[in-house]
Amino acid sequence: MQLGLKPKTNRSILIKIILFLLVFFLGIFLLDKIDFSVPKKLIKQEISNDKLIKLK
């Protein structure tokens, strides 16, 4: 009598997908917690026509 063993490929693929999604969302969550510095005032600098170089 032979044993009807089923391969565990479906289960291992499902576990890998779940682990990947867990790591992905954990990475997004941790990146959201990092406080990147943002300039508080708008930097506006006028450029005169003397400084512009026209190419033909």
Decide which of 29 and 45 is more confident.
29
pLDDT given for residue 35 in this prediction: 81
Q: Which helix (H) or strand (E) holds 3?
A: none
pLDDT given for residue 24 in this prediction: 97
* Residue 34 pLDDT class (50, 70, 90 cuts): confident
Which string of b and e fits 41-56 if b means at least 16 CB within 10 Å?
eeeeeeeeeeeeeeee
Residue 7 has pLDDT above 70, yes or no: no
* Residue 22 pLDDT class (50, 70, 90 cuts): very high
